[in-house]
């Protein structure tokens, strides 16, 4: 798949007063691949208040809920068209024993969430609650199995419990109130098995993966899509070993990539940052493209037909926890900077959907780069939520390759430290054509000061009208809070026009725009 970015490399920042120009050429005749809706996937881990308080308040709560899941969050997620939800972790998955989370709630044992702050959980949110939530959302469940501290039998029985019509596990499920099996497609066999999921070497995990997946059966026409634990960022040895030793036994291999300053020490504040920190984040987030290409090249060696999918099942920003919040709960605020990370990353994922078939932002509520923040009965939608909402038009549409020429600037490659630099293109773009023939172009002008005049050559596409939506804000640190929930919100965009087969767009500084062309 071809999308060329011809970024004119400028050694230094351009004069701030200049108005810049960028060109895009759409290449509709090269359109071949559908953008899987699962690129817009979400992740919900038992971590902090993602599940308890975020998604789930319990049937007895005074917060309005449907069978325990809070109504405001349900509604917001329905509007986002969430295609797939990954659960129960993350690191939590490899310490989770699913049988503790079924049956009458008063009989469920309590557990210590050792990975995330040592919080004691009551297991009131388990298999039934999760799968019922997915049914209410109309999304695919993605269940991560416990390989790190579980057993093959436990994993095999979980699949049977969820998907079999008859037999001992189905009988137990029925006794717990669910007659019909659920349909579950995606299962993860371990998570970060090189780290919190068991500190394994890939040579060992590859064999373990082969063993565990053998006993994950397809019951009654339910066809599992089996995903092996993959690399964190650039661990090419992991990918190489997994593809060589277990490529034939998997449907997908995961990849985790966070926009994070480093794993020790401060990761930087989510809300207080300077211009250099902001541009660092844009560069780090865009480096996911190189990371994907690196793993795709290895996968291509072993699987030229691209049968095995690359699943970016954790990505997003990772900042310091908000002051005053529980340590280990990874609660962070979300600003326009995070919205840009979302927009740029999604534009990258679209380009590789011949291999990348799923991506799950971490996480859906109250953890890392959340869509939603909750505090008791209040809920706030973050700037990242609005990017997912605006971009939902790309779900299931045909990817339209494009060529982009734009200015760039030199940015720090390391947060807070001079030294290595990267070249950052200042415009990011992606396009797709939906089944009804509408074309959508998502654009981001990363520049904090200067607007961009974009000319888009529509090629053979006969399009006459354009409308759009924009997310922007007066300051890049702007965010939505419980006191001011609507500080950052999409607005109609009027800066685009079509004339003689060319689209012209005036993209304001620090703006994210999605255009619809008919």
- Residues near ligand AHR (CB under 6 A) are 45, 89-91, 191-192, 314, 362-363, 368
Instruction: Locate the DSSP E strands across 9-127.
Output: 20-26, 41-43, 65-66, 69-70, 84-87, 111-113, 119-121
Instruction: Assess contact for 427 and 294: CB atoms under 8 A.
Output: no
Residue 175 C-beta: closest distance to ligand AHR, Å: 32
Nearer to ligand AHR, 148 or 181 (CB): 148
Specify the residue, 261 or 496, whose C-beta has the smaller distance to ligand AHR.
Answer: 261
Burial zone of 17 (CB within 10 Å; 0-12 exposed, 13-18 middle, 19+ buried): exposed
User: Of 38, 45, 95, 192, which residue is the catalytic one?
Assistant: 192
CA–CA distance, 460 with 457 (Å, rounded to integer): 9
Q: Which is nearer to ligand AHR, 45 or 478 (CB)?
A: 45
Name the minimum Å distance from CB 362 to ligand AHR: 4
Which tokens is 211 given?
């063993």
Distance CA 318, CA 367 (A): 9
Q: Return the HEC string of 230-279.
A: EEECCCHHHHHHHHHHHHHHCCEEEEEEEECCCCCCCCCCCCCCCHHHHH
What the block records as the tokens of 125 is: 């949110």
| Structural Rg of the chain based on CA atoms | 23
Taking the least distance from each CB to ligand AHR, the nearer of 193 and 511 is 193
CB of 89 to ligand AHR, least distance (A): 5
- How far from 159 is each of 38, 105, 187, 207, CA to CA, in Å? 21, 21, 9, 20
d(CA 342, CA 80): 14
* Minimal distance, residue 368 CB to ligand AHR, in Å: 6
Q: Which is nearer to ligand AHR, 45 or 447 (CB)?
A: 45
Residue nearest to ligand AHR (CB): 90
Render 316-369 in DSSP notation, one character per residue.
EE--PPPTTSPTTS-----BHHHHHHHHHHHHHHHHTTTTEEEEEEE-SBSSSS
- Nearest distance, CB of residue 316 and ligand AHR, angstroms: 8
N-to-C CA span, the chain: 25
Minimum distance between the CB of residue 90 and ligand AHR, rounded to whole angstroms? 3
Q: What is d(CA 133, CA 68) in angstroms, rounded to the nearest whole number?
A: 9
Active site residue 321: no
Q: How many Cα neighbours within 13 Å face the side chain of 458?
A: 24
Residue 176: CB partners within 8 Å, gap ≥ 6? 102, 103, 128
Residue 478 to residue 463: CA distance in whole angstroms:
35
Nearer to ligand AHR, 317 or 428 (CB): 317
Contact 226, 213 (CB under 8 A): yes
Task: State in angstroms the smallest separation of the CB of 258 from ligand AHR.
Answer: 7
Report the residue number, 341 or 426, with the smaller CB distance to ligand AHR. 341
Q: Between 257 and 493, name the residue whose CB sits nearer to ligand AHR.
A: 257
Q: Are the CB atoms for 429 and 442 separated by under 8 Å?
A: yes
In the bound state with ligand AHR, the residue whose beta carbon lies nearer, of 182 and 258, is 258
Residue 129: phi, psi to the nearest 5?
A: -65, -40
Q: Which of 38, 45, 121, 314 is catalytic?
A: 314
Instruction: Tell the burial category of 229 from Cβ atoms under 10 Å away from its Cβ (0-12, 13-18, 19+).
Output: buried
Closest to ligand AHR by CB, 45 vs 235, is: 45
Cα separation, 146 vs 123, whole angstroms: 16
Q: Write down the least CB distance from residue 220 to ligand AHR, Å.
A: 31
Supply the DSSP symbol for 92: G
Is the separation of the CB atoms in 117 and 329 below 8 Å?
yes
Respond yes or no: is residue 192 known to be catalytic. Answer: yes
Smallest separation, CB 198 to ligand AHR (Å)? 12
C-beta of 439: minimal distance to ligand AHR in Å?
35
Positions marked active-site:
192, 314
């Amino acid at each position: 798949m071809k999308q060329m970015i011809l970024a004119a490399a400028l050694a230094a920042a351009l004069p701030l007063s200049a108005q810049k120009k960028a060109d895009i050429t759409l290449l509709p005749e090269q359109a071949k691949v559908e953008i899987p809706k699962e690129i817009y996937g979400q992740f919900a881990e038992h971590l902090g208040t993602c599940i308890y308080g975020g998604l789930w308040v319990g049937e007895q709560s005074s917060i309005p809920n449907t069978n325990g899941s809070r109504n405001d969050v349900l509604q917001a997620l329905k509007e986002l068209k969430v295609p797939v939800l990954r659960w129960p972790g993350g690191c939590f998955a490899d310490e989770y024993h699913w049988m503790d989370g079924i049956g009458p709630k008063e009989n469920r044992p309590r557990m210590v969430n050792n990975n995330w702050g040592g919080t004691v959980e009551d297991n009131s949110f388990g298999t039934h609650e999760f799968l019922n939530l997915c049914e209410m959302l109309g999304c695919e469940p993605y269940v991560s199995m416990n390989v790190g501290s579980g057993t093959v039998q436990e994993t095999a029985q979980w699949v049977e419990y969820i998907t079999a019509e008859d037999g001992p596990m189905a009988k137990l499920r029925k006794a717990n109130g669910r007659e019909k099996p659920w349909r579950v497609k995606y299962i993860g066999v371990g998570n970060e098995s090189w780290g919190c999921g068991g500190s394994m070497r890939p040579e060992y995990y590859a064999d373990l993966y082969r063993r565990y997946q053998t006993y994950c059966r397809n019951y009654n026409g339910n066809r599992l899509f089996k995903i092996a634990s993959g690399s964190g960022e650039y661990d090419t040895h992991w990918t190489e070993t997994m593809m060589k030793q277990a490529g034939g036994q998997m449907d997908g291999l995961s990849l985790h990539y966070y926009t994070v300053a480093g794993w020790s020490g401060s990761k930087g504040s989510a809300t207080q940052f300077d211009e250099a920190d902001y541009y660092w984040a844009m560069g780090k987030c865009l480096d996911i493209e190189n990371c994907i290409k690196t793993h795709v090249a290895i996968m291509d060696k072993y699987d030229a037909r691209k049968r095995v999918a690359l699943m970016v099942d954790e990505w997003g920003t990772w900042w310091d926890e908000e002051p005053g919040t529980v340590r280990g709960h990874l609660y962070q605020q979300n600003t326009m900077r995070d919205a840009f990370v979302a927009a740029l990353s999604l534009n990258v994922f679209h380009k590789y959907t011949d291999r990348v078939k799923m991506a799950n932002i971490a996480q859906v509520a109250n953890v890392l780069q959340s869509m939603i923040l909750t505090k008791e009965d209040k809920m706030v939608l973050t700037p990242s939520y609005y990017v997912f909402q605006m971009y939902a038009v790309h779900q299931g549409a045909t990817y339209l390759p494009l060529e982009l020429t734009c200015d760039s600037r030199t940015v720090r490659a390391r947060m807070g430290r001079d030294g290595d630099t990267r070249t950052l293109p200042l415009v990011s773009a992606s396009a797709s054509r939906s089944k009804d023939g509408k074309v959508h172009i998502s654009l981001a002008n990363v520049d904090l000061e200067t607007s961009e005049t974009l000319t888009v050559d529509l090629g053979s596409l006969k399009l006459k009208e354009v409308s759009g939506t924009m997310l922007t804000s007066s300051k890049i640190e702007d965010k939505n809070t419980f006191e001011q929930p609507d500080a950052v919100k999409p607005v109609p965009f009027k800066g685009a026009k079509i004339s003689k087969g060319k689209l012209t767009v005036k993209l304001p500084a620090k703006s994210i725009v999605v255009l619809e062309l008919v």
